[in-house]
Amino acid sequence: MPRDFYNSPKPTRVMRLFWKAAGADRYILERSTYGDQVKYLCLGGIIVATGLMAGLAGGYAFYTIFEPRGNAINSFKTAADIDGSYDAVDIATMIKAVTFGIIWGLIIFNLDRFIVSSTGKGDGTEEITGKELKGALPRLFMGAVIAMTISKPVEIRMFKTEIDIKLHEKQIEQQQAYKAKTDSVFNSELSKKDKEIEKTENELKNKRSRYQSLEANYIEEARIVTVGPRAQAIKAQMDALHADIKELEANPDYLRVKKEKEDIENRRTQALNQSEKYAAGLDGLLERIKISHEISGPVISLFITLLFMAIELTPIFFKLMLIKSPYDYMEENIKELIKAENGIEIQYNYYQDKQGHERDKMVHHQVIRLLKEKIALLEAQSQLSEAALEQWKEKKKESIRNNPDLFVNEHSNKDNGTII
């Protein structure tokens, strides 16, 4: 029969979607008041918004962790470059980040939906009692953890420009420290090799200097007079000295040490060229969170975390503060009808346990009915079996009265192990 005093507003598709997100019963809300419909619309909106924020934060965190490393300033600029173009985005990492963000957002959405829908309505008053708060503590703890996982990626995105500058400075410091350490390690090895070849190098230096002096004397003698005995003697000394120089330059030990020194210098050059790559590895999610805390300070960081905790925990406190409305009474009525339809009776505060707590007694009438039917059936089968045994006994007695010898002979033969 249609109402003549109030007609419930017809909900839109978006409103029904938010009801479902809040874990509310659409059937009841469509027959309830507009105030109940709006309450659960807002509740579902908060849960959907939390899931979306979690998806964005999770995707950004994933991209920050797995993107190709590089210079903090150049690799993470979002503004246009000098030539007007934008920095390239790693497409493969972006696709993975989007996929992870969607999955993470759905996980948080489902967790929030479970937390809110499983939170009771308290005692139906605006006051949150200690008992209600104690019962909600596990849900509040889970909500706080979820809020922290959302707030940190958002926080590093908020201070991205300042973090990039500070991170770039740390990368430069890391690069310089790596170069200094690399030079220290390789210089000690090079020093050892220099000492090994120093003796040969000094000897070669002396011989080359002596050779140049003889060469000058030879030229002077040959210019003054024709090549005579003195010039020939100088030439002989020059040839002998040249042979000694070539012999020293071709010394296997000397060449080996020079080759080892060259290899060490090449390895040092390669290690120094890798310094920028190793410094770029400093760019990670943990390092960015640490820098964010340094930049923003504990107060701002705590404020951002508390902001997301307020958003996350509001639906839980909201449900505890809800005053009972027609929706709640209709929901309780439908639950009682379903229990009655299935033969379930609850006798509230029926007895006290050993700790003195009042407990409810649950009576499952359909179970009791089926159990009684099963017991009656078994009893009837037992009675029928007894009646059949009585009839069989009477029949046997009648047979014995008519022919007792046959009964005696039959049992006697069985005892002897023969059958007639």
Indicate whether 225 pLDDT > 90.
no
Cβ-based neighbour number of residue 357 at 10 Å: 9
Residue 417: per-residue pLDDT: 54
C-alpha angle 63-65-66 in degrees, rounded to nearest 5: 70
What is the per-residue pLDDT across 157-178, written as a single tens digit (0 to 9) for each? 888 888 888 877 887 877 777 7
Tokens of 190: 């090079």
**Burial of 394 per CB tally in 10 Å (0-12, 13-18, 19+):** exposed
Instruction: Kindly list the distances between the CA atom of residue 358 and the CA atoms of 118, 120, 132, 348, 351, in Å, as whole numbers in the listed order.
Output: 23, 19, 17, 8, 6
What band does 420 get if pLDDT is binned at 50, 70 and 90?
very low
CA 1 from centre of chain: 54
Tokens of 3: 């109402």
355 three-state secondary structure: coil
What band does 411 get if pLDDT is binned at 50, 70 and 90?
low
Indicate whether 419 pLDDT > 60.
no
Residue 99: per-residue pLDDT: 93
What average pLDDT does the segment 372-401 reach?
A: 89
What is the per-residue pLDDT across 279-330, written as a single tens digit (0 to 9) for each? 666 677 777 888 888 887 778 888 888 888 888 888 888 777 778 888 888 8
The single-letter code of the amino acid at 336 is E
pTM beyond cutoff 0.75:
no
Write down the residue that tokens 């997301």 correspond to.
308
What is the per-residue pLDDT across 319-359, written as a single tens digit (0 to 9) for each? 777 788 888 888 889 988 998 888 888 888 777 777 777 78
What is the per-residue pLDDT across 132-146, written as a single tens digit (0 to 9) for each? 777 778 888 888 888
Higher pLDDT, 224 or 47: 47
**DSSP single-letter state for residue 34:** H
Residue 102: per-residue pLDDT: 94
Higher pLDDT, 47 or 416: 47
Residue 416: per-residue pLDDT: 57
| Closest listed residue to residue 78, CA positions, set 196, 166, 164, 147 | 164
Indicate whether 414 pLDDT > 70.
no
Bridge partners, residue 387, by sequence: none
| Closest listed residue to residue 133, CA positions, set 120, 145, 148 | 120
Residue-by-residue DSSP string for 284-319: -HHHHHHHHHHHHHHHHHHHHHHHHHHHHHHHHHHH
Q: What percent of the chain has pLDDT over 90?
A: 11
Instruction: Kindly list the distances between the CA atom of residue 361 and the CA atoms of 211, 340, 344, 350, in Å, as whole numbers in the listed order.
Output: 117, 15, 11, 6
Per-residue exposure over 217-239, b if at least 16 CB sit within 10 Å of its own CB, e if not: bbeebeeeeeeeeebeebbeebe
Residue 326: per-residue pLDDT: 87
Of these ranges, 58-67, 96-105, 259-268, 403-412, the one predicted with the greatest mean pLDDT is: 96-105
Residue 1: per-residue pLDDT: 54
What is the per-residue pLDDT across 43-76, written as a single tens digit (0 to 9) for each? 899 889 888 988 988 888 888 778 776 555 554 4
Task: Give me the residue spans of the domains in the chain.
Answer: 13-168+284-342, 170-280, 343-420
407 three-state secondary structure: helix
In whole angstroms, what is the distance from residue 414 CA to residue 418 CA?
6
Taking the alpha carbons at both ends of the chain, their separation in whole angstroms is 86
What average pLDDT does the segment 106-114 reach?
A: 89
Instruction: Kindly list the distances between the CA atom of residue 362 and the CA atoms of 22, 339, 344, 350, 371, in Å, as whole numbers in the listed order.
Output: 30, 11, 7, 9, 16
Indicate whether 375 pLDDT > 90.
yes
Of these ranges, 37-51, 111-125, 235-249, 348-362, the one predicted with the greatest mean pLDDT is: 37-51
Bridge partners, residue 347, by sequence: 361
Q: What value does the mean pLDDT of the chain take?
A: 78
